[in-house]
Amino acid sequence: MELEPKQALLDEGSRYANRRTFAIISHPDAGKTTMTEKLLLFGGAIREAGAVKGRKARRHATSDWMEIEKQRGISVTSTVLQFDYMGCRLNLLDTPGHEDFSEDTYRTLAAADSAVMLIDAAKGVEPQTIKLFEVCRMRGIPIFTFINKLDRHGKDPFELMEEIERVLGIRSCPVTWPIGMGPDFQGIYHRMEGRFERFTSRTEEMTSVQVPDLNDPALAEVLGEALWQKLKDDIELLDVAGDPFDADLVRQGKLTPMYFGSAIANFGVASFLESFIQLAPAPGPRETNAGVVRPDDPVFTGFVFKIQANMNPAHRDRVAFVRICSGKFARGMTVTHVRTGKRLALTQPQQFFGQERETVDEAYAGDIIGIHDPGLFRIGDTLAERGTLEFPPLPSFSPEHFARVSVPNAMKYKQFHKGIAELSEEGAVQVFRQANRTEDLILGAVGQLQFDVFVYRMKHEYGVDVEMIRLPYQFARWLASDEPVEHLQFDRYATLVVRDRDGRTVLLFQTEFAMQWLLDKNPNVRLHKTSFEL
Ligand code: G4P
């Protein structure tokens, strides 16, 4: 089925229209690695199963970027994977698959136009799914739900729909519907296409038959009387009492299309992907400080959403990932780094095809390119062919973990500060300073894992052994106050006054109570969760 014109047939101004730039959000173990791999197999970006790095599939790791990933069996860094399917170019922004998730994940979602929420049928909505879902909701992007592991016994599909609505507050509309589950799993019924797909654990044997009428007794023969009756009842209930499909609500992120399947058996994945390509949005307009930028505007613009060092340990390099928002990118073009006004020639831009890195000659809105970072870029920086417009800063979230970091070996002082400066620009950790203390710094992170990665990278990339002492603070709040902080009343035992790297005053609180106390005693003071709200 050809849904969209082929890439080559689109004129340059509209090539963005067949881009789908998305991320998969899920709780660890829901099957994200497995799903990613199946999607890449469809797109021909990889040739064999086991090629994508997963928790257990370490021997076949696609990326060995960081030794720590291997040691802990997790994917710390996000990757960008591109593949073509049905005339569309899909940019899959992979996010770290660990509970100790980091700010990286949040930022990656800022570059996505939609998200796929992967849920384990037996576990339902899990904690990390909730956190990531919240970020998607803040951005108002469409969310597609894939219920995975139907080959095992799981929760009732109606119960899952109810749970998604109750816990996440989003209505759902099943596009496919499961027939049985676990050992009785017979397949899925595609409500929009009136089609039954029979489950076998071997993809090559999968059969798909049109079933224009669910009352067709031939279906009873295949499913057995009991499952046939249940399917008819379920579909009737969904048709009568369920939410009707509404493309506008999907686009606004208020209704999630829902799909069922088994990623490991590669079942239900193709139906999902085809429907996703049809329903997911192409890149849309984006706000800037100088008005809206449209993807078909001819002037190239983009923003840095991620900086990653040491992608290839053989050549210690730093790559800035840029999400293109408008225009055409052509290799060798010169752009302005708007924050500094510097002009840069982008001579070695790279794109990522599954496990390969390739030099890219041209790219369009929705695409992600990796460019060499000579130490110039910060997260959120805008690049533009001309003009001075800037995309809004990427939201940074209040750290929840804090540690004091110092370097015991005074000879390493210079490398220590270089490492800290570079890693904070990369967004690997947030750095705070305390007045009158120059010998140490305070680091903030959204997840504990960020600290482990920090310690590891300081040692391996900068040759510095750091000393970390965990601090008991739980929240960071940026202070908005007409009075200097010294004049405010607060609990000096449970509150620490620090400055962020731009010199803004930040308060670290040990408890919610201490934070509330300060607000009660100083009614004119405002506390913000991010610096951007100031
Ligand atoms: P993650 O990236 O979300 O953490 O999940 P991953 O794909 O690594 O999958 C987690 C576990 O769930 C793996 O099993 C994987 O094989 C299994 N899994 C993924 N999809 C399905 C599915 O559709 N059905 C079933 N039954 N299992 C699925 P594991 O035992 O942890 O690892 P492995 O030994 O299979 O590699």
Give the tens place of pLDDT for each residue, 187-218: 999 999 988 888 876 655 566 667 777 888 88
Report the distance separating Cα 431 and Cα 445, nearest Å: 9
Atom of ligand 1 nearest to the CA of 37: 7
Q: What is the DSSP string of 19-59?
A: EEEEEEEE-TTSSHHHHHHHHHHHTTS-SSTT-S--SS-GG
Averaged pLDDT, 428-454? 86
Give the single-character DSSP code of 387: S
**Ligand 1, atom 33: closest residue by C-alpha:** 56
Give the tens place of pLDDT for each residue, 19-66: 999 999 998 889 988 898 888 888 776 545 544 544 443 333 333 335
- Check pocket membership of 55 for ligand 1, CB cut-off 6 A: yes
Atom of ligand 1 nearest to the CA of 148: 23
Which residues pair with residue 382 across a beta bridge?
A: 303
Report the distance separating Cα 504 and Cα 108, nearest Å: 25
Neighbours of 336 (CB within 10 A): 18
Averaged pLDDT, 380-400? 87
Q: 């049928």: which residue's tokens?
A: 121
- Check pocket membership of 264 for ligand 1, CB cut-off 6 A: yes
CA of 186 to the centre of ligand 1 (A): 20
Give the tens place of pLDDT for each residue, 333-369: 999 999 999 999 887 766 654 445 667 788 999 998 8
Averaged pLDDT, 229-237? 94
Looking at the chain, the whole-number percentage of residues with pLDDT higher than 70 is: 83
Atom of ligand 1 nearest to the CA of 36: 7
- Check pocket membership of 306 for ligand 1, CB cut-off 6 A: no
pLDDT-derived band at 138, boundaries 50, 70, 90: confident
Give the tens place of pLDDT for each residue, 263-315: 999 899 999 999 999 999 999 999 999 999 999 999 999 999 988 765 555 55
- Check pocket membership of 148 for ligand 1, CB cut-off 6 A: yes
CA of 21 to the centre of ligand 1 (A): 24
- Check pocket membership of 91 for ligand 1, CB cut-off 6 A: no
Which helix H or strand E contains 235, and what residues bound it? helix 225-241
CA of 33 to the centre of ligand 1 (A): 8
CA of 30 to the centre of ligand 1 (A): 7
ipTM: 0.97
Averaged pLDDT, 309-333? 78
Neighbours of 323 (CB within 10 A): 27
- For 443-460, b/e burial (b = at least 16 CB within 10 A) is bbbbbebbbbbbbbbbee
**Ligand 1, atom 17: closest residue by C-alpha:** 31
Report the distance separating Cα 303 and Cα 338, nearest Å: 10
Which pLDDT belongs to residue 120?
Answer: 98
Which pLDDT belongs to residue 6?
Answer: 47
Rounded to a whole number, what is the distance in angstroms from the first to the last CA of the chain? 50
pTM for the model stands at 0.83
Atom of ligand 1 nearest to the CA of 27: 3
Specify the amino acid at residue 290: A
Which pLDDT belongs to residue 163?
Answer: 97
